[in-house]
Structure 1
Amino acid sequence: MDYYSLKMRASQHVGEGENSHEQHISGAERIVGRDSVEAVCTAMVRRAMNHSKGDPDFINVKIEKVHESDIQVLKSLPVTRVDVETWQEGLEKAFELITPLMGSGCGLREKLQELLRATFPMRGAMLYDIATGNRLEPDHERGVRATYMDALHSSEVDGCKNHFNEAIVLATKVANAPGMVAEFCVSDDPNYVTGYVASKELGYVRIMKMKEMGDENGGRIFLFDSRKASAEECIEYLQKKKVLVDVAACHPERRA
C-alpha cells in the first residue's frame, strides 16, 4: 500500500519595511492512504483559516507520495501525567526531570532557562549538544523540524488540533533519532498551557501547566549528544525519515 505525506503551513505577514516578517499561524502534517488525501487536505486548510492566531496571508499544502517500504513503525513512548498548581512549578518539574540527563555540571537549570527563552522566536527546534554546549542547528532562526510522521492507523480527517496525539507522535520519533538524549517542549499556542519532556528513559511526561494562558511564547529543545552520533545523522532522521507511531500500543496514562 502506498501512502501520501500531507503538510500544511500557514503564515501571516507582520510589520512593514525592515521590520516586516512572516509570523507562523498554523501547521499540520499527516501520512494517509490515497482515499483520505482530499478530505484531510480540506480539513488542514479549514484549520488554518480558523486559527486563534488570526487569518493567514499564505497557506502552503504539500502532497508527496510515500512507499510503505520506506516507513518505520515505532511503538509509542509510555505516558506520565504531572499535575501542578502553577506554571512556575511546572517549569521547575521539567528542569528537574531533564537536568540529570544532561550530565554533571553547575548551572544546568539556569542554562535550560536561557536556552528555552532563545527558542521563542525560532520557527523550529533548537539542537543543543550536551557534550560541547554548542547549538548545532544549521540555521539558528529556522531551527530543526521533525517531519514525515503520523499515528499508525489514524483515520481522523477533521481539522481540529489534537495536541496530545500530535505531541506523542512527534516525541516518539524524536526520542528514536540517533544521539538524542531528550526533548523539552512548551507549546506556542496561547490557548494551550500543557508542555512536556520526553526521552526513551523518561517516556512522554505531560506537565499540565508550563506557561500562563494567553502567552504566545513557546519553544522546543532537542538535547543531543555528539559522542553518540553526528548532528548530520540526527537531522537527517528528524527531517527525512518517514515514521508511523503506534499510539494504540501506548500504555494508559499514569500520574506521577
Structure 2
Amino acid sequence: MAILNSNPEILLRKRKNADRKRLEKQEQIRERQILKKTLKKKRTKFIRPETLISNHKSNELERKRIKNLIKNQHNDVVEEKKVDDSEGNQEYKLLFVVRIPNQNTKGLKIPNKVLQILQVLRLTKINTGVFIKSSEKTKNILKLIEPYVLIGSPSLNSIRKLFQQRATIKITTKTDDDEKEEEKIIKLDDNSLVEEKFGDDLGLCCVEDLIFEIFNTSGNFIKITNWLQPFRLNAPINGWGPEAKLARMSNQEFKIEDYL
C-alpha cells in the first residue's frame, strides 16, 4: 500500500505544477484556435476586377498625395526659419487627435510614412485619441495623416470630462509568483498616483494639475502626455462618414462629449 506524503511543501509544489500544466494546456489550445482562425482567413476569396482596379487607383492617389506633401515640406521649413529660428518663441496650440476608420477606402493600403507618424503619436487603434501641441513646424505632419484622423481644439471643460471618464495609465507591479513584473493599465482616478509620479520633480499633486498643464501646453506637456495612455473613445452615434467628419471639422471646439 502506497504511503501518501503529507509534507505541506511537497503538496504545494505538486499543486503548483498541476496548475502550471493546466495553464500550459489551455495556452496550447488557445494557440491552436488562433492558428486555425488565421489559416481560415488566408483562404483565397474571389475579388471582382472592378474592386482591384478601384483599390489600385486609391493607392496611387494616396501615394501621390504623400509625395506632393513631402515635396512641399522643405519650402515650408525654410520659410518658417526665416520668420523665427528659435524654439523658445514658438506659439503652441493644443489639439486633440482621434484615429478614425478609413472611410470609403476599404482596399486602401496606408503608406509607411503615415503609419510611422501614427505609431509615434500612439494612434495605432481606431477610436483612440491623444493630446498634441501643434506649431507651424508640425502642420505638415498633420497634413500627412489628415485622412486617417479627426483633429480639433478641446476646451478646458472637455479635457476635464475626458480625464474623469477615460484617463488611464500603465503601471508595473510584481506578481506573487517568482516576483516577476507585469504591466497593467489602470484608471487614473487617484491623486496619489499623480503625486507619486510628478510630485518631487514637477510639483504636481493631483489630476486637476495635469489638466491645467495640458490645457496651457506647458513645458511639462510631453512628460505628462507620454505618461498617459491614449484615450479610448466611443464611435459617434452618426458614424464616421465624410459628411459627419466635415461637420465636426467645421466646429471650432472639439466636443469630446460626443465620444464618451
TM over 0.5: no
Range into which the TM-score falls when normalised by the shorter chain = under 0.3
Structure with more helix by fraction: 2
User: With structure 1 as the length reference, what TM-score do the two structures score?
Assistant: 0.25
Structure with more strand by fraction: 1
Q: Which has the higher contact order (CA 8 A, sep 6+)?
A: 1
Larger Cα-atom Rg: 2
